[in-house]
Amino acid sequence: MTKEIESTLEKAQDAFTALGKFSISQRVALMRTVADEIESLGPELISTAQEESHLPEGRLVGEKGRTIFQWRSYADALEKGSSLDASIDTANTERTPPKPDIRKTNVGLGPVTVFGASNFPFAFSTAGGDTAGAIAAGCTVIVKAHPGHPKTSKMMADAISRGVEKSGFPEGTFSHIVCETYEEAQILVSHPFIKAVGFTGSYQGGMALVEVANKRPDPIPVYAEMGSINPVFLLPEKLSTSASELAKQYAASLTLGVGQFCTNPGLVISVESEDLNLFTDTLQEEILKVVPAPMLNAGIAKGYAGNLDKMISQNGVEVLAVATAEASEGQGSATVASVSGLDFLLNDALQNEVFGPFALIVKCKDAEEALAVTAKIHGQLTATLLATSVDLAENEALVSLIGTKCGRIIFNNFPTGVEVCKSMHHGGPFPSASNNQYTSVGADSIKRFVRPLSFQNWPDEFLPEELKNSNPLNIWRTVNNELTKEAIS
Ligand code: NAP
């Protein structure tokens, strides 16, 4: 282990011990100060990220705003007590046997390592949701810098460190580290000080870290958000009313950001019909018009080309359209292909993620085959139904099966936007995520980095503030099974 990694781990551990003395309101203030520091980063942040990620300015400006909102909204959630989940069951000495006083809150797990993604240099990287969530939880954080945007990562890290210093928190509350090898990066998972890992990226990367974590004498959670092809189900009545319009909207969602979203809708499932033909004809026209654009980096562009080649060489796959304008090096060409329901059922490779602007349309011979295809689909972050109410009512079995396959089920809308709010679930059954119980977006993502701690018969003055009789934080608590802000007399 290098000296730098060793001292970073020690600082993170020491800071975690010291964090016990900081109040919830100090932690809230820290998060708001970090948000202000990120906000004050000027145009240089955007131009640096643009240069490193090839993402357009408008997209990056929006992503910066989203990142600031994540810090502020998670701070609000902490202030309101929602991530603490405080509950109190008061004593009953009359009962036989007597019931003790039991109170429960959520405490930080310990130092957390965050592996950011290449495709969101702000919102899912160094200062992204995993880091904000872990800090809100009361953890210290070590970020392993993504090599796709090293300067951006450093600028964000410096902003967080300034926030830490200004708020009077110990230096090791947040650290940023550049790893030269996978071995080095994996020490940040296997080391006994580390108590959880947040990851967004490839299936291979996520699973490598899960394996390292599971081999520890004390296995720890790895919250890995990995690949997803986000199926879109076209149901007959909806298709009969607006096939062309749907195809245009779908093409826009598929090719947004050169398809480099974990929620990119890369799979369409429908039953063969004239309306489906109209949908695919319009989709082909739209795809032909898409102007190829630079992908995040040379590796991602190479990965797209290679995975696309593998996909279109599978049995029964027919290419329907490729963007007319030729792609230069580093760019990705939008492509659409189709396959029969039967071929899809016979070949698991057709479910591999082709990260970029690619869609596979599965044409099923009838509703029964569509149900079989759906049953075969792996776990997904999202599934989308383009349907009418009649379609929903007439396809009950399909609709409930789809619900078992995804973390977010969408009706007549598209999955690429991921709203940051408490009700968002950004995660899903394996392999879209390594743990399908938690979201990586929205204030509930804080809960990945806490563990419950119960206090039994504890003197009020020594209880954490969120469990004290007087409810000094004025938060909602479950007291004897009722949600209330009332103090306990
Ligand atoms: P990635 O290659 O999985 O890398 C993410 C982070 O994990 C990087 O810091 C990487 O380090 C590290 N890492 C990867 N494998 C590792 C291992 N075996 N041991 C230790 N550390 C490891 O993801 P990416 O760079 O963001 O994009 C690559 C691919 O991931 C894309 O082509 C796409 O398929 C997928 N992706 C999926 C999502 C999603 O949200 N589902 C988002 C983005 C990307 P190094 O870079 O230093 O190797």
State the DSSP string of 31-89: HHHHHHHHHT--HHHHHHHHHHH---HHHHHHHHHHHHHHHHHHHHHHHHTTTTT-EEE
Q: One of 37, 225, 353, 466 is an active-site residue; which one?
A: 225
Does residue 262 carry a catalytic annotation? yes
Ligand 1 atom nearest residue 201's Cα: 23
CA 200 / ligand 1 centre spacing (Å): 7
pLDDT tens sequence for the chain (489 residues) = 689 999 999 999 999 999 999 999 999 999 999 999 999 999 999 999 999 999 999 999 999 999 999 999 999 999 999 999 999 999 999 999 999 999 999 999 999 999 999 999 999 999 999 999 999 999 999 999 999 999 999 999 999 999 999 999 999 999 999 999 999 999 999 999 999 999 999 999 999 999 999 999 999 999 999 989 999 999 999 999 999 999 999 999 999 999 999 999 999 999 999 999 999 999 999 999 999 999 999 999 999 999 999 999 999 999 999 999 998 999 999 999 999 999 999 999 999 999 999 999 999 999 999 999 999 999 999 999 999 999 999 999 999 999 999 999 999 999 999 999 999 999 999 999 999 999 999 999 999 999 999 999 999 999 999 999 999 999 999 999 999 999 998
Report the atom number in ligand 1 closest to the C-alpha of 185.
20
Atom index in ligand 1 nearest the CA of residue 117 equals 26
For residue 237, the one-letter residue type is: E
- Distance of alpha carbon 487 from the chain centroid: 37
What does the CA dihedral 339, 415, 280, 370 come to, rounded to 10 degrees? Answer: 40
Report the nearest atom of ligand 1 relative to the CA of 189. 20
Ligand 1, atom 9, lies closest to the CA of 146
The structure tokens listed for 161 are 């460190």
Protein residues whose CB sits closer than 6 Å to any atom of ligand 1 = 115, 117-119, 144, 146-148, 182, 185-186, 200-202, 205, 208, 225-228, 262, 300, 303, 353, 355
260 CA distance to ligand 1 middle (Å): 13
Q: Which residue minimizes the CA distance to atom 48 of ligand 1?
A: 182
Question: Which three-class secondary structure state does DSSP give residue 202?
Answer: coil
Distance from the Cα of residue 281 to its chain's centroid: 33
Angle at CA 389, nearest 5°, toward 387 and 393?
100
Q: Which of 54, 118, 214, 354 should be mutated for ligand 1, with most atoms under 8 A from CB?
A: 118
Predicted TM-score (pTM) of the model is: 0.95
Residue nearest ligand 1's atom 43 by CA = 201
DSSP-assigned beta bridge partners for residue 114 = 143, 198
Nearest CA to ligand 1 atom 39: 262
DSSP state for residue 220 in the 8-state scheme: -
The H or E element spanning position 319 is strand 318-322
Chain Cα centroid distance, residue 144: 17
Using the structure block, give the residue that is written with the tokens 């090791």. Answer: 172
Name residues whose C-beta falls within 8 Å of residue 419's C-beta, 6 or more positions apart in sequence: 441, 442
User: Which residue, among 291, 217, 218, 294, has the nearest Cα to 260 in the 3D structure?
Assistant: 294
**Spatial CB neighbours of 172, under 8 Å, sequence gap ≥ 6:** 8, 10, 11, 12, 13, 14, 15, 16, 140
Ligand 1: residue of 55, 144, 202 to mutate (most ligand atoms within 8 A of CB) is 202
Strand order in the sheet with 477-479: 450-456, 102-108, 87-89, 477-479, 482-484
Contact 28, 77 (CB under 8 A): no
What is the 205 CA–ligand 1 centroid distance (Å)? 5
Considering 262, 286, 353, 369, which one is annotated as catalytic?
262
Taking the C-alpha atoms of residue 31 and residue 233, their distance in angstroms, rounded to an integer, is 40
Sign of the CA dihedral 454, 213, 420, 406? negative
- List the residue whose alpha carbon is closest to atom 40 of ligand 1: 262
Cα 452 to ligand 1 centre (Å): 31
* Burial bucket for residue 79 (CB in 10 Å: 0-12, 13-18, 19+): buried
pLDDT of 227 reads: 84
Q: Which residue has the tokens 């398809």?
A: 259
Q: Using the mean position of ligand 1's atoms as its centre, give its distance from the Cα of residue 170 in Å.
A: 30
Residues 6 or more apart from 461 whose CB is under 8 A from it? none
3-state SS class at 269: strand
Ligand 1 centroid to residue 63 C-alpha, Å: 19
Residue 286 to residue 295: CA distance in whole angstroms: 20
Please give the distance, rounded to the nearest whole angstrom, from the Cα atom of residue 88 to the centre of ligand 1: 42
Q: Tokens 């869609």 — which residue?
A: 359
Query: Position of tokens 């608590």?
Result: 477
